[in-house]
Structure formats: C-alpha cells, structure tokens
C-alpha cells in the first residue's frame, strides 16, 4: 500500500456543505492545490472510498475488470518493436511483468509466433530491488552505434524522470556512469563523453515558468552536469529550450530550439561555440534530414525568396545552405482539399508521408532516382483502416507498418524498398466479435455551418429508436487527430455490452491540417464545443440515442471539453467521464506545466484574454441552480503535467453547491492515470461500470 494513502485512510475529513458561488478573485478551495498534504490526501481518500463503493455496486463490475485484464495481459497481442542493429527491441507488460520488460530478439526470431526474447531491463525487478515504483519512460541512445544509452525512469509515472547511463550491448547499467537526478530534463548526445543537457540545475533559475529546461549546458563526463559551459539561455517566459541533432557521427549538426510558446520557436544552428539563427517560420516543424536536405512542414502560409508556400506544405532546403545562412526552400508536397500531411519519416533511401484524407489514412513512399526525379508508391493497404508507421529508421531500407480499424485487430507488415509487396509479420487476435458491428462516418453541421465528421461503431442490428447507450469521445486540441483504432477493451466492455461508440473529429484537432486546429484557438475555443454539441444533437436526430442514453468521455484537454460540455449543455447528456482534466482556467497557467499551454487557450492574467477564457472555464461556469448529470471525475496524484487540483476543486465546488458527483484519484499513474496493468484495468472498469449504470 502507498505510504501516504495508508496514513490518510484513518485520518478522515468532513465535506464542506455550505453552498459556494465562486468568484474569480476568491477561491475557497485553493487549499486542494497542495498535492500531497495530509489534509488533502485525506480528502482524496474519503472521496475515493465513497465513489468506489458507489460504482462497484454495478453487478457486472468484476466482469469488466476481468475483461480489461484479459485484454491487457493477452500474450498473443503484437509486441511492437523498433530495430537497432541485429535486434528488434520491445517494451512489454503483462500479468507477470506489470511494470514491464525491455527486451530484444533477432528479426528471424521476432517473426516467429513465439519469439525467444532476451531481457534487457526488468523494471519490476529494479523497482523491487530499490523499493521504488519505477515506470519506464524510454531510452536515449548515442548514434550511430546506439549502444550507449540514457534510461529514463519515473517514480509513479510522473513526467519528471531520472536518467541513468546504460550499456545496451551488455544489458546493464554502467557503474559510475552518467546520471541525472529527477527533473523534467532534456538531453542530447554529442559523443560518448559529451551531452547537451537542460534540467533543473538547482539554482532556482534554470527552469521556465512552465517548469521545463530554460538553460542548456555542455555536459562532459567526469565534470558533473551542473558545471558545464552554458550553451543557451531562453527567457523565463519561454516554454522550454532543447537541443537536437541532424546527421550522424562526424557529420552531426546541432540545432537549438527555443520554444517561445507551445507552437512557436526560434531555431539556431550551434557550431564552433556560436549560434546562427535559422530563417524559418517560428511555427513550422523541422521533420528531419534526408540526402543532405532538411525537410520542413509549414503550419501557416509562408512567403520565402519570392515564392508563396501553402499552409501544410512539406518543403526542403540543403543543410549546407541552412548552416551558411542561405536557406532556399523548395516545395516537395502540398495538401489539397480535405487531404493533409499527418507525418513524415525517412528510411535509408526513401521518404515516407502519412496522409489523411477525410480522416482516412494512407502512406506514400517517395524514392529519388539518380537523375533527381522521384517515384511514388502508395503502400498496398486500403484506407478503411488506420495505417501507422511503427518502426522507420534512416539506417535501414526496411520498415514496419501497422494496419487496424475499430473492428479489425492490428496487423503488422514489413516493407522493403527493394520490393513492391509487403510481408505479414504479426497479427493480434480478435478479442471481441467484430463481425457483429459496422462502422459508419457521418457529418454534423456546427453552429457556424462547418461540416464536422464523426465515426459511429454500432451493432449491425441496431434499432434507431433513441434508446441505445452511446458513448461520445472527444479531444479537440493541440492539433491531435483522433483516428479509427482497434480497442479490445472498448469492444468487450462497451460494444458487447450493448453500447454504441462514437469518435468525434471536432475542430482543435489535426484531422484536416493546421487550419482545423487553429480554428478553435483562444477566443475561438467555443468552436470546438459547438462542434461537439452538433455531433451530440446529430446522434439524437438520427435516433441513434437520446439525452437519457448519451454519455461522453475525454481526458486532459478532452477533460476541459467534458467540463464545458456538461456546463454548457447539461440537457444533452446523462453521463460524463472527465479524466485528468483542466477545469480552472483562471489558474491553469500557474499550475505545473500550465503556462506552456497559453498559446492554445490564452493568458488569464491579461484582462482582455480572461474575458474570453472565462467563457470556457468550467470551474467558473458551474452553477448551483442548474441540474447536471452525475459526473465522474478521475485524476492522479502523480500527474505533474495537469495538476490534480483541477478535478479536486471542481468536485469540492460542485458538492458545496449540492450536486451529486463521483471522484477517483489514483495515487500513482502520472498524466496517463495508471502506472501498471492492474491500475489501468480497474480504472477502465470504473469508467465503463459508471457509464453502463447511467445509460442503460
């Protein structure tokens, strides 16, 4: 049992009963912002106890837990892997390894139904040995050998990690090796004895207002990470500073990225201890280096050297010209109506572009010939499912691609540049009866006339009588696209329980490129919420469901969406799962990483911006005089990205106003909400049990 939780279970705390109307200048529940205080955790324990008792009354609760565990522990699911040298590496969790194994197998072995894996790092054994609830957060390895690595380890799933040097060939930590204590750090290898590091240097001045690295230093082995020469310092108001490299070995070029806000950055080349500014749009993304050219994806229209390039276009310029301050970008590919570039990757001899066309995906391979012309080949996978690049590396010609849909489990294919076909490597078993269901794509008309697409997964025999339990999922922010994906948990614990599943593609996301995202920024945030409401109304108009049987779910920025959904239109929904949410938009920029999101939402400390922000701050818009559905809020004590106080304070306020709400705070889990398989299964089951209780 968690030590803090054990201490608070016996503490007890009384719930405020007086009705409170929140004013912007006075917050009676600010005391809940202290994350791990005794009084605060006692409050959490009391809420958890009551909510768990309520939700677990659902007769099928344990069956939902068992279903989720069966899915998460399924040893026949695809072990997604990435190639490094002669091995494919995979991170794996199951009932025997709840925290996970980092392991490897040769390609020939990997292709087998039952590969023989070699364990590289056992996170469960490490945690037991050190008595720390370690969560694996990845490896950063030195190129081009990729054998000397820094392993990132998080306590309880938080974003803050500690780094330890690791020998990948020997599969062991290096005694006396490089080490960084817990912080939100950024590191980049230059050679086996040198890194550029941004971290908390302990001077109170090395982090931005968002809590990310502000100062970058050259870290030489044996000299201590605090003692290196300063390479770059960002302003305190910047989001973060980081270094990255293009090229390998002696051909490596160091770039410095100063993120002035979430979507804009100043870019420099760092060479000979000098910084040279790179003339590119601040909101563009450097995608990588291929055959001597740097590829750039535009987020806005750009006039460059007398040419106009369209938003969403992929451009290229030679690295040599960029380093010389004479960048001359040319067009490689441009988006078209309804079609946008989702991602770019590079193999040894080809460039791959993931395209989205009306929220349907495909991948095209572009290969240059000696005469400078390019050949195009669309991968032989239809657009009825999601095509995802799993492992693409510019050291190799072959690459792995996944293919799945709402009702078709994932299949993994190996493609090779020397062949036009594909080789099926692995497939996941069907975990629910996909043949029972069908998928349709509809469009709803938003308040301003915009057509907003959404997917519906439903039983082929569904009766359009308005009585079907329906779950509408949404996010709508940060240019993140919601795409059709196979979820056996949704299949077993929702679809097979008689539910309809709906995936929304509202503005704020990236389904139609940067413009779709930018349409719902700041003062236009309401556009995302209007889109979501339009989909809910469209589902009701089609008699797929009705308000009594319609539930909604979202997390993080999607949790903010949920908060606005039920405060704006409580008449539309009868269940709300609001996960790791933002809710107090007056103080969000002062809590953890919140300041980094002001480019998305605005700055509440500026009166003119607070005027529009307060219209989508659920904490300030909930009313004691309005009847709301019984909302289920979830968060995590160890979430160091979105502060748990958002959910805590909203629950305290709503209860003080007399509203009936449910609340569960996992003591571990970070922003993901759960730290291991058991926690994930139980948290998932809580959500579905609540939804089924409310909507059936």
* Alpha-carbon dihedral 61, 67, 73, 75, rounded to 10 degrees: 170
d(CA 399, CA 233) in angstroms, rounded, equals: 38
**Following DSSP, what letter does each residue of 18-82 receive, concatenated?**
S----BTTB-TTGGGGSSS-HHHHHHHHHHHHHHHHHHTTSTTHHHHHHHHHHHHT-TTS----E
Residue found under tokens 């300041």: 595
Q: Are 549 and 607 in contact (CB under 8 A)?
A: no
- In eight-state DSSP terms, residue 532 is H
Q: Report the Cα 212 to chain-centroid distance in Å.
A: 17
d(CA 115, CA 102) in angstroms, rounded, equals: 14
d(CA 319, CA 482) in angstroms, rounded, equals: 34
d(CA 109, CA 79) in angstroms, rounded, equals: 12
Q: Is the dihedral of CA 613, 510, 90, 221 positive or negative?
A: negative
- Please confirm, yes or no, whether 556 is among the known catalytic residues: yes
d(CA 690, CA 694) in angstroms, rounded, equals: 6
Q: Which of 362, 427, 556, 596 is labelled catalytic?
A: 556
Strands 550-555 and 470-473: parallel
Alpha-carbon distances of 293 from 275, 296, 349, 368, rounded to whole Å: 20, 10, 13, 12
Nearest residue to 574 via CA among 625, 606, 539? 539
d(CA 46, CA 663) in angstroms, rounded, equals: 10
Q: Report the Cα 249 to chain-centroid distance in Å.
A: 31
Q: Are 526 and 585 in contact (CB under 8 A)?
A: no
- In eight-state DSSP terms, residue 510 is S
Query: 240 Cβ partners below 8 Å, 6+ apart?
Result: 186, 198, 208, 210, 212, 213, 214, 234, 259, 596
Nearest residue to 632 via CA among 567, 547, 568, 552? 552
The radius of gyration of the chain from alpha carbons, rounded to an integer in Å, stands at 25
d(CA 440, CA 456) in angstroms, rounded, equals: 5
d(CA 263, CA 582) in angstroms, rounded, equals: 19
Q: Which two tokens stand for residue 456?
A: 């519906």
Q: Are 422 and 413 in contact (CB under 8 A)?
A: yes
Residue found under tokens 């040893």: 75
**200-206 contacts, C-beta under 8 A, 24 or more apart:** 201/225, 201/226, 202/226
Helices marked H in 315-402: 319-323
What are φ and ψ of residue 514, in 5° steps? -60, -35
Query: 598 Cβ partners below 8 Å, 6+ apart?
Result: 261, 262, 589
Q: Are 368 and 352 in contact (CB under 8 A)?
A: no
Residue found under tokens 């099926």: 424
Q: Which of 304, 620, 646, 671 is labelled catalytic?
A: 671
Catalytic residues: 556, 671
């Amino acid at each position: 049992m968690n030590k803090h939780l054990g201490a608070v279970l016996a503490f007890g705390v009384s719930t405020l009963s007086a009705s409170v109307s929140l004013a912007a200048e006075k917050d009676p529940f600010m005391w809940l912002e202290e994350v791990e205080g005794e009084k605060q955790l006692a409050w959490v324990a009391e809420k958890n106890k009551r909510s768990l008792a309520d939700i677990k009354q659902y007769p099928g609760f344990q069956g939902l837990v068992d279903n989720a565990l069966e899915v998460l522990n399924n040893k026949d699911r695809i072990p997604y892997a990435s190639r490094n040298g002669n091995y494919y590496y995979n991170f794996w969790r199951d009932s025997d390894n709840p925290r996970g194994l980092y392991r490897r197998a040769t390609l020939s072995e990997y292709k087998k139904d039952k590969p023989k894996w070699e364990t590289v790092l056992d996170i469960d054994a490490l945690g037991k040995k050190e008595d720390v609830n370690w969560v694996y957060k990845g490896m950063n390895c030195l190129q081009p050998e990729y054998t000397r690595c820094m392993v990132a380890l998080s306590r309880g799933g938080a974003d803050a990690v500690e780094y330890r040097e690791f020998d990948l060939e020997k599969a062991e930590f290096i005694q006396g090796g490089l080490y960084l204590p817990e912080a939100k750090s950024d590191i980049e290898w230059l050679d086996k004895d040198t890194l550029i590091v941004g971290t908390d240097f302990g001077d109170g001045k090395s982090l931005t207002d968002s809590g990310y690295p502000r100062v970058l230093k050259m870290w030489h082995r044996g000299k201590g990470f605090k003692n290196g020469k300063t390479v770059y310092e960002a302003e305190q108001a910047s989001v973060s500073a980081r270094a990255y490299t293009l090229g390998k070995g002696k051909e490596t070029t160091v770039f410095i990225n100063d993120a002035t806000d979430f979507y804009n950055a100043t870019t420099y080349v760092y060479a000979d201890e000098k910084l040279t500014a790179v003339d590119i749009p601040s909101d563009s993304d450097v995608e990588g280096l291929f055959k001597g050219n740097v590829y750039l994806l535009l987020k806005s229209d750009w006039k460059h050297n007398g040419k106009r390039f369209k938003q969403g276009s992929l451009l290229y310029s030679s690295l040599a010209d960029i380093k010389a301050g004479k960048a001359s970008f040319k067009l490689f590919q441009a988006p078209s109506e309804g079609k946008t570039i989702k991602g770019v990757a590079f193999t040894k001899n080809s460039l791959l572009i993931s395209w989205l066309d009306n929220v349907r995906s495909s991948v095209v391979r572009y290969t240059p010939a000696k005469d400078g012309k390019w050949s195009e080949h669309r991968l032989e996978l239809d657009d009825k499912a999601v095509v995802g690049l799993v492992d693409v590396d510019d050291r190799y010609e072959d690459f792995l691609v996944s293919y799945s849909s709402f009702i078709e489990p994932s299949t993994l294919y190996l493609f090779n540049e020397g062949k036009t076909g594909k080789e099926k490597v692995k497939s996941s078993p069907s975990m629910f009866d996909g043949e029972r269901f069908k998928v349709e794509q509809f469009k709803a008309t938003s308040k301003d006339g915009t057509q907003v697409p959404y997917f519906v997964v439903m039983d082929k025999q569904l009766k359009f009588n308005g009585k079907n339990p329906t779950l509408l999922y949404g996010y709508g922010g940060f240019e993140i696209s919601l795409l059709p994906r196979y979820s056996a948990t949704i299949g077993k614990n929702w679809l097979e329980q008689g539910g309809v599943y709906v995936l929304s593609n509202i503005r704020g996301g990236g389904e139609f490129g940067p413009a779709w995202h930018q349409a719902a920024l700041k003062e236009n945030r309401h556009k995302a919420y209007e889109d979501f409401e339009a989909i809910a109304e469209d589902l009701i108009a089609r008699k797929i469901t009705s308000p009594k049987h319609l539930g909604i779910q979202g997390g993080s920025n999607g949790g903010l969406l949920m908060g606005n959904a039920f405060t704006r239109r409580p008449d539309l929904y009868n269940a709300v799962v609001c996960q790791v949410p933002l809710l107090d938009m007056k103080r969000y920029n002062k809590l953890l990483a919140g300041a980094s999101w002001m480019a998305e939402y605005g700055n509440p400390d500026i009166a003119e911006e607070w005027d529009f922000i307060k219209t989508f701050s659920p904490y300030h818009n909930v009313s004691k005089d309005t009847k709301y559905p019984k909302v289920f809020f979830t968060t995590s004590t160890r979430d160091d990205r979105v502060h748990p106080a958002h959910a805590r304070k909203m629950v305290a306020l709503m209860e003080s106003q007399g509203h009936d709400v449910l609340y569960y705070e996992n003591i571990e889990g970070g922003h993901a909400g759960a730290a291991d398989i058991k926690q994930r299964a139980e948290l998932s089951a809580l959500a579905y049990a609540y939804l089924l209780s409310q909507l059936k």
